[in-house]
Amino acid sequence: MILISKFVYKPNYKKRMSQDLFQAPDYYQLDDLLTEEHLLVRDAAREWVKREVSPIIEEAAQQAKFPSSIISGLAEIGAFGPYIPEEYGGAGLDQMSYGLIMQEIERGDSGVRSTASVQSSLVMYPIWKYGNEEQRKKYLPKLATGELMGCFGLTEPNHGSNPGGMETKIKDMGNHYLLNGAKMWISNAPFADIAVVWAKNEEGRIKGLIVERGMEGFTTPETHNKWSLRASSTGELIFDNVKIPKENILPNKDGLGAPLGCLDSARYGIAWGAIGAAMDCYDTALRYAKERIQFGKPIAATQLQQKKLAEMITEITKAQLLTWRLGTLKNENKATSAQISMAKRNNVDMALKIAREARQVLGAMGITGEYSIMRHMMNLESVITYEGTHDIHLLITGMDITGISAFK
Ligand code: TGC
Ligand code: FAD
């Protein structure tokens, strides 16, 4: 018995769950391309994830509970409105810093990054860009501290990839609008204080409006039984004759281009975030492969496992370079929607493939919650679908290079 147990691989579960041993790969010395401020912002987010997210995230995902205790920490590292000007409570950072924060948060969990993406790019961004000064002052500072949490309602039961067909409607009643319809698959909906909602007016023009929890006829039932993004709360937005004060309409942009403009910002953050998830899977697989002995030697000494690990770091490095360049274009206000689509599509696909390969490197241990890989893999199944599916982003590239829309 003693002899057997000496040779049995005994994972130290407690040690693994409490210790986050992550070491970020930087194969092409990309840190040299970042400024001191980028590195400071990135390292602060990295440390916070190690300290506050890693110890609790597995349990939250297992229990399918959004860990609301992390909201104040997300605000402190500047994850709510990284690029929103400081006068509105944002962190006033550049687009590279925004991306690096998303990378580090998704290294911890895609669901936590979802919460930050929605708050920043889908709630704060439209209020900042399309709202008036009163709306900016009323909502942005509280959204930046997490005192108010928001969600973004575009997708409907009958209109996912094709949001232009939406059925949710507003009717002008003179001194207010009447809102009717339903949105589904909405991140943060079950606990959000406000929702930025997209609805058609009587002329069929898409308008953005701010719906507040507590308005009569507005409910947010939670969506259960997800196998993916379990630490993120998802729900529906139901509007049954909700009275919307006229001052809650976003006045400065309408049409489908308004919500799609928000998606550009969120998709850019996801392109960075996916690299974080991939880095965590690679780092875990590399460490495990060096420690795990089979046939008298570490599995990292076998050609097959080296091939997997070598291909992973190659793909991560290519994605890092693509995304760094996208960040510089974003900072210069030159990044196109199609370039953002390409990066979102490439990086999420890359991360999902790496998660699947890394899971296999860990053998049976890879299916347990003692390691983050399976959670990342399941999360990425949502990330490859939301903010435009893998197919839709390919067709956006197709449209950009041919000048012909495959959607019409
Ligand atoms: P189309 O005729 O091509 O365009 C309509 C108008 O929009 C403009 N436009 C954009 N503007 C800004 N940014 C973009 N990315 C834009 N793409 C298009 C366009 O110029 C036009 O403007 P105008 O002035 O000429 O009217 O529209 P279409 O109906 O053919 O659809 C195009 C398509 C399929 C690419 C678009 O509908 C699309 O991207 N569909 C995917 C839907 C999607 O991504 N939904 C995401 C929902 S939110 C979400 O998933 C949040 S998850 C958050 C989390 O938890 O992290
Ligand atoms: P569909 O549009 O029905 O697509 C089904 C399949 O058909 C896909 O494979 C798609 O690629 C393919 N397809 C569709 N059209 C074409 C075409 N023209 N050519 C070729 N193939 C096509 N939405 C929000 O508004 N706010 C949120 O906060 C939000 N959070 C989400 C959180 C989670 C966890 C998930 C899973 C989704 C979330 N979404 C949110 C919704 C998400 O954006 C949609 O699921 C996504 O846009 C796809 O829509 P759909 O699921 O209706 O798929």
Residue 5 covered by a domain: no
Domain boundary among 124, 145, 166: 145
Average pLDDT over residues 274-303: 98
Residues 177-198: tens digit of each pLDDT: 999 999 999 999 999 999 999 9
The tokens for 170 are: 């507003």
Whether residue 16 has pLDDT greater than 50: no
Residues 377-404: tens digit of each pLDDT: 999 999 999 999 999 999 999 999 999 9
Confidence (pLDDT) at 19:
82
Q: Are 243 and 300 contained in the same domain?
A: no
CATH number of 266's domain? 1.20.140.10
Query: Nearest C-alpha to atom 46 of ligand 1 is from which residue?
Result: 387
3-12, 22-31, 176-185, 379-388: range with lowest mean pLDDT: 3-12
Residue 11 covered by a domain: no
Distance 396 CA to ligand 2 centre (A): 14
Position 7 confidence tier, pLDDT thresholds 50, 70, 90:
very low
Confidence (pLDDT) at 136:
98
Q: Are 261 and 354 contained in the same domain?
A: yes
Q: Are 241 and 271 contained in the same domain?
A: no
Residue 29 covered by a domain: yes
Structural domain count, the chain: 3
Confidence (pLDDT) at 323:
98
Domain boundary among 145, 162, 186: 145
Q: Are 379 and 332 contained in the same domain?
A: yes
Residue 141 covered by a domain: yes
The tokens for 237 are: 């937005």
Q: Are 160 and 134 contained in the same domain?
A: no
How far is Cα 402 from Cα 400, in angstroms, rounded to an integer? 6
Distance 341 CA to ligand 1 centre (A): 11
Q: Are 307 and 347 contained in the same domain?
A: yes
Atom of ligand 2 nearest to the CA of 189: 28
Position 355 confidence tier, pLDDT thresholds 50, 70, 90:
very high
Residue 407 covered by a domain: no
Q: Are 172 and 244 contained in the same domain?
A: yes
Q: Are 367 and 272 contained in the same domain?
A: yes
Query: Nearest C-alpha to atom 17 of ligand 1 is from which residue?
Result: 260
Residue 30 covered by a domain: yes
Residue 4 covered by a domain: no
- % of the chain at pLDDT higher than 90: 95
pTM over 0.75: yes
Atom of ligand 2 nearest to the CA of 162: 2
Mutation pick for ligand 1 pocket among 159, 168, 260 (CB with most ligand atoms within 8 Å): 260
Residue 408 covered by a domain: no
How far is Cα 309 from Cα 22, in angstroms, rounded to an integer? 16
Domain boundary among 199, 214, 248: 248
Whether residue 3 has pLDDT greater than 50: no
- % of the chain at pLDDT higher than 70: 96
Per-residue CA distances from 127 to 65, 96, 259, 345, 359 (Å)? 28, 22, 11, 27, 41
Average pLDDT, the chain: 95
Q: Are 208 and 242 contained in the same domain?
A: yes
1-15, 92-106, 287-301: range with lowest mean pLDDT: 1-15
How far is Cα 303 from Cα 248, in angstroms, rounded to an integer? 61
Q: Are 123 and 228 contained in the same domain?
A: no
Running DSSP on this structure, what letter comes out for residue 159?
Answer: B
Residues 199-218: tens digit of each pLDDT: 999 999 999 999 999 999 99
Confidence (pLDDT) at 193:
98
Position 18 confidence tier, pLDDT thresholds 50, 70, 90:
low
Average pLDDT over residues 132-146: 98
Are 292 and 9 in contact by the 8 Å Cβ rule? The answer is yes
Per-residue CA distances from 197 to 111, 186, 234 (Å)? 21, 11, 15
Q: Are 223 and 266 contained in the same domain?
A: no
Distance 294 CA to ligand 1 centre (A): 50
Whether residue 172 has pLDDT greater than 60: yes
Whether residue 24 has pLDDT greater than 60: yes
How far is Cα 211 from Cα 28, in angstroms, rounded to an integer? 46
Distance 311 CA to ligand 2 centre (A): 29
Helical packing angle, 95-108 and 36-48, nearest 10°: 20
Task: Give me the domain span that covers residue 198.
Answer: 150-248
Average pLDDT over residues 282-290: 98
CATH number of 85's domain? 1.10.540.10
Residue with tokens 């899971």: 359
Confidence (pLDDT) at 14:
45
Q: Are 293 and 223 contained in the same domain?
A: no
Whether residue 8 has pLDDT greater than 90: no
Residues 35-87: tens digit of each pLDDT: 999 999 999 999 999 999 999 999 999 999 999 999 999 999 999 999 999 99
CATH number of 160's domain? 2.40.110.10
